[in-house]
Copies of this chain bind each other. A is one copy, B any other.
Amino acid sequence: MKVLHKSKWADLLAVASFFALFLTFGTASADALQKEAQSLFKPIPAKAPAIKGNPATPEKVELGKMLFFEPRISKSGFISCNSCHNVGMGGVDYQPTSTGHGWKQGPRNAPTVLNSVFNVAQFWDGRAKDLAEQAKGPVQAGVEMNNTPANVVITLKSMPEYVDLFKKSFPGEKDPVTFDNMAKAIEVFEATLITPDSKFDQYLKGNTKALTKVESEGLKLFIDNGCAGCHSGVNVGGDDYYTMGVVERPADSIMKGDKGRFAVTNAKADEFSFKSPTLRNIELTGPYFHSGSVYSLKEAISIMNVAQLGSKLSTTDIEKVEAFLKTLTGKQPKVVYPILPAPTDLTLKPALD
């Protein structure tokens, strides 16, 4: 396996020894594949994980949900978090890169909000350490919501129902309606957007029958070929940064001149390095790559195989890997649409310019 990031070498050697063992004995039983999978991946838990330093309460989760769906935190009054991280569409927006303020397009494909709480950091380049920090980005980005923290606070403070909910969500704080607390509330809501009980998770939990023959063959290819080198853990990805194009850099149409994490660290080694995206719910989250330039999952598998692993899977193998990846679709979150507060005369009006 030709893989991809120094911090991973120990793991990879372990995996390699494991396979060497198989080769020695010449068998790889279904049971062994399951054990191997259990050592590489973890199921999505049934409940939202706790956030360090930001305890969830029912009030805070509800407030976070309202803010997630609140278009009035955008300058135009037209764009909410859910516009691009649509909870009914795998947590994404089906756009190559998101449409934002002024009909502008963002620089990178919107990553899914689903299970994002399990990522090592947020954004393709990991520039936000957690979901609270992430939430503050799009609200201010010129090509997204194009708003200012000050104006967000004016708008939120203009509606008594929000003031009351911030008080309840951040008890003991003198001035709870802040931009930071907005982000913290959104974070605890987003932590609830997890998708347990996929077929693959049932398999990981011990149900050997959860995958069909083709799906488990796809899983085996996924592991044997080295895909799991970058896509492992609870999110089947999302846990570290890897060079895009270790073996062969994908076409410019896919890269879009984006140097990824280099912009954050300025380290030569991070040029063209990106956080590996989660493959959870991957059938729902196209188009793929940071550029969002590929809509076909099969094509994405094929491109990654050449770019990262230097192998060329047959069409049948690609179909098997795709079949496996579709077992990563979990139970989608049940979200009751929040009823947002009535505006007042102090609520800022939409500005489209």
Contacts and interface: CB of A to CB of B under 8 A. Distances in A.
Interface of A: 69, 71-72, 76-78, 83, 86-90, 93-96, 99, 102-103, 105, 283-284, 286-287, 295-296, 329, 332, 334-340, 342-343, 345, 349-350, 352
Nearest to A95: B350
B93 A71 contact: yes
> How many copies of this protein are present in the complex?
2
A343 B88 CA distance: 12
Contacts of A335: 336-337
B343 A286 contact: yes
Nearest to A336: B336
Contact of A295 (B71, B90, B99, B349): B349
B339 A88 contact: yes
Chain A interface SS verdict (over half): loop
Given A103-B102, A345-B296, A340 B89 contact: yes
A336 B6 CA distance: 45
A141 B336 CA distance: 30
A321 to B, nearest CB: 16
B102 A78 contact: no
In this complex, which of A69, A86, A95, A342 has the most chain B Cβ atoms within 10 angstroms of its Cβ? A342
A76 B287 CA distance: 14
